[in-house]
Structure 1
């Protein structure tokens, strides 16, 4: 079967691109409204970014000419998280990005940009901050977040907790959840793996990873996801795909409290009762919101910032 020579292919591509460019820059005669024209321009830029990156030999250890990737700290099925250092400031950051083989996944791209929008909106001492969104050379989005090197999951393996430490942890968690819920979101993935700190001060724990967060009243199937979260911490309504509100996070907080008490060197009847209340299977039997749960815990302690 005959095939047109490569030069002919390039000429056809150039001709079509020229026609598209003229259509996008037709001034008053432009057939597209401004919003559509901007969307098309963005898509062209995105396609050129992806193609150029596959032809270039840029250093994969440098992101946006500003961050040096120092270590891979999480290698998931579809995303990776690196510890990165800013080349000029010397500051440490966490950078989350899709795995290279998922560079062309439009669903993952949409979810990550949505995660960035949520993370940038939330500002609280007990929430890990999202600082910026970058576009990598191949078009992948990359989320720049504050660096918090210690996970609660690791801390639990080091030594037993005291009841006061358990209260400090839960105060941090419930205070962060109160801010998330006040902004209209449900975290949906609360666990010791997503509770981070920059030092050993348990009162400064921060909730991280908003990759599967939802607006209150929504369900994951609206994003073509059958289930999202950690099965061992998910509420019954999350497991069955029902619309979620903040009480779903309180269920996870109750399971977290039960886990902390199993690592506590002393028993505490009041904390055990609170754990049972938070993790009631029927959301109507849980506290109405995180502020009410904080009140049952004893209220947030004063912290000097």
Structure 2
């Protein structure tokens, strides 16, 4: 099937609008997800002749692995699927160029490169600790968003192609990009995280010099240079490079993986030291504690990153005499387990029987329109942000993650890098604020380590629901820490104020007046829908345990009415009974979706927020589909005159009703995750709290304007309204 023939076709719930690029591993389309009125990117993998169930299962396993990678600097996988002969992945479709585009403009000064390197390395460090190797690190797969953050894309696609391309798995096939391929990958040998470190080293060389270290007329000649040739001198190729930086790159580009840095944390720490003119950490691996100081990476289900596209672009039909092939290729080997044998520093004739299938297009990023010390209490007196707060222009790298310790959303974990050095008399203070009313409170101060990183863990002793109260985080440099931030704003982050309202309604409290067919409701939307689903769960179980058709029909009616919020007389006994609360699931789920939609369409909503909300929507969609399946089964049972032959379907209905509440560990890995067919209603609380997560950046100069704008839209009553708190004695 040709690439253009898919335009206008629907893959699952996604309508293909146009092709936006074609790379070596995927063709990328712009797609429309009509139900939420947003554009997505659809990455279609190459066709697989003889596709069978085992092939599809391998694809699904790899897709699930990718989807579990939830990190601020990794592009998220929204969805995946197969439709006839088409295997596809769904990711966000937003703007932002690639690192390749930035490099093409000019070599990067070490100070600029260092910030991006740290973010890329952090993403790789996280993935490697999950047991995932990228296998295709290159500038085209590193996206730069509008705020200057690096985002690593196309995780796992190389492995997908390897596992799903005929003649590759088990035959020593190679997949990767010649210009960035590690020696062991080029030889068809097993790879681990150190292979990615090598590829990252190539990228760093190119960032600093504007060119790749190995160039030649053909892809295979470039591959052979990776195996045999010593890397050129960084110091000679880059005007601003020091000998210490050259030493770090040589270690990262060592031919033997054992001679490289063990982890990306080691690599970035050594590069940081070298860039600062210190002796690089090139011989000592960092301890876990030191690595935490470099990245403070966390394996949490909460952060979904700012996302962008990669793996597609314009065609480039020829490679000149100084070609630097950056297109991902598949090298298919005819029966040799190891085609490259290194003797005396060169490869012997095994290379002659290697066939290179090189698609001569150069993938580019896709441009598209945007769819420590800690306080122990929240301050009793709510104070306000000073109108004169100002910001520095220093690059940023950090995130604030909300979580639950003693009560929902009562904790915040902050990690920040690139903190400026300051005098011993000054303090780096952390504040939470609300831009709608200016309310602010202090969380304490940070202790900066020698690498410029810091951590802060805060838990409110009163059980305050922090993501419902605050939508802004500040780090300021203070001569003395008072009740208000008075010093220079170093970093700041925020989410739209609509997030506070959405999370308050979702997890704490909302008041819904009575209507013609529904009673009034007050409480959290999530607790309301879970309560209804649990009652239905109970009655589906009672139907399955019935000893007569009449008894079963009674509970069939109950189950359907509870789920629908109706009182229909399904069993024709003269009375339509609903032992639930009379709302049904849609009453709550529709309102949850509406509240989340208000947040996601806000002008200042970023894709970190959009990605996190997507997790909740996956769970809502799962619950809705399971509800519909239960209703279909229970409706069918109503026509049965006996129980004969119904036991398996009754058990199935019970299982489905359990899934609605508890979720389903579909892939049997011991964890219920935000995947289609896995998470249910109970998982929404965890993902909901994380909707308030904030990425810290250095554009805090806009923050006072943000506060002023929000204040102008709020009446004085909103300013004096009490902030929401979590009441542990509340039934919700």
TM-score over 0.5 for the alignment? Answer: yes
- Work out whether 1:282 is the aligned partner of 2:229: no
Deviation of the 1:74 alpha carbon: 2.6
Cα shift at 1:109: 4.8
CA gap 1:171/1:102 in 2 versus in 1, 3 angstroms: same
For 1:38, the equivalent position in structure 2 comes to none
Q: How far did residue 289 of structure 1 move?
A: 1.1
State the partner residue of 1:205: 151
Structure 2: tracts of 5 or more residues without a match: 161-166, 212-237, 273-293, 296-395, 400-694, 696-732
3-state DSSP of counterpart to 2:114: helix
Choose the corresponding residue for 1:97, options 27, 38, 44: 44
Question: 2:30 maps to which residue?
Answer: 83
1:164-211 C-alpha deviation (Å, 9 max, x unpaired):
22112211211111011000121111111111233251x332233421
Q: What is the match of residue 133 of structure 1?
A: 80
Whether 1:244 and 2:191 are equivalent positions in the alignment is yes
Q: Give the direction of change, closer, same or farther, for the CA distance of 1:255–1:226 in structure 2 (3 Å limit).
A: same
Query: Counterpart in 2 of 1:178?
Result: 125
The answer for the alignment partner of 2:698 in structure 1 is none
Give the whole-Å Cα distance in 2 for the aligned partners of 1:252 and 1:78: 18
- Please point out which of 93, 99, 108 is paired with 1:161: 108
Taking a change above 3 Å as real, the CA distance of residues 154 and 232 of structure 1, as seen in their structure-2 partners, is same
Deviation sequence 1:5-47 (CA, Å, 0-9, x none): xxxxxxxxxxxxxxxxxxxxxxxxxxxxxxxxxxxxxxxxxxx
Report the secondary structure of 1:142's partner residue.
Answer: strand
Aligned residues of 1:113 and 1:141 also touching (Cα < 8 A): no
Q: Secondary structure at the match of 2:146?
A: coil
1:117 offset after TM fit, Å?
2.1
Q: Which residue of structure 2 aligns with residue 28 of structure 1?
A: none
Q: Deviations over 1:35-89 (max 9, x none)?
A: xxxxxxxxxxxxxxxxxxxxxxx98524246333233223246741112232232
SS of 1:260's equivalent in the other structure is: helix
- Which of 104-113 and 278-287 deviates more? 104-113
What residue is the counterpart of 2:180 in the other structure? 233
Inter-CA distance 128–284: structure 2 relative to 1 (3 Å threshold): same
- DSSP 3-state at the match of 1:88: helix
Equivalent residue for 2:203, pick from 256, 263, 268: 256
Q: Of 99, 109, 115, which residue of structure 2 is paired with 1:152?
A: 99
Q: CA RMSD in A?
A: 3.0
For this pair of structures, how many residues does the alignment match?
Answer: 240
Aligned partner of residue 130 in structure 1, secondary structure: coil
Deviates more, 1:251-260 or 1:158-167: 158-167
Offset at residue 268 of structure 1 (A): 2.5
Q: CA deviation at 1:104?
A: 4.7
Distance 1:292 1:257, change over 3 A: same
Distance 1:160 1:78 in 2: 28
Aligned equivalent of 1:143: 89
- Secondary structure of 2:78's counterpart equals strand
Alignment correspondent of 2:473: none
- C-alpha contact (below 8 Å) 1:97/1:141 kept by paired residues: yes
The 2-side partners of 1:223 and 1:132 are apart by 28
> How far apart in 2 are the matches of 1:159 and 1:262?
8
CA shift digits 1:284-303 (9 cap, x unpaired): 11111112112213334742
Change (3 A) 1:223 1:197: farther
Q: 2:271 aligns with which of 297, 300, 304?
A: 297
Shift of 1:114: 4.0
When residues 59 and 78 of structure 1 are mapped into structure 2, their CA distance, relative to the original with a 3 A threshold, is closer
The CA deviation string for residues 86-134 of structure 1, in whole angstroms up to 9 with x for no partner, is: 22323332111135x6475458756643431221111111111111113
1:26-65 alignment to 2 at 5 Å? 60-64=7-11
* Shift in CA distance, 88/228, structure 1 to aligned 2, threshold 3 Å: same
Structure 2 CA distance for aligned equivalents of residues 71 and 275 of structure 1: 41
1:3 match? none
Partner SS state of residue 245, structure 2:
helix
Cα distance 1:81–1:109, how it changes in 2: closer, same or farther (>3 A)? farther
Larger helix percent: 1
Q: Distance in 2 between matches of 1:104 and 1:197?
A: 38
Matching residue of 1:268: 241
Note the C-alpha offset of 1:225.
Answer: 5.2
Larger radius of gyration: 2
- State the distance in 2 between where 1:286 and 1:179 align: 18
1:250 Cα shift? 0.5
C-alpha contact (below 8 Å) 2:20/2:29 kept by paired residues: yes
CA distance, structure 2, for counterparts of residue 141 and residue 232 of structure 1? 27
Q: Is the 8 A contact 2:103 2:206 kept in 1?
A: no
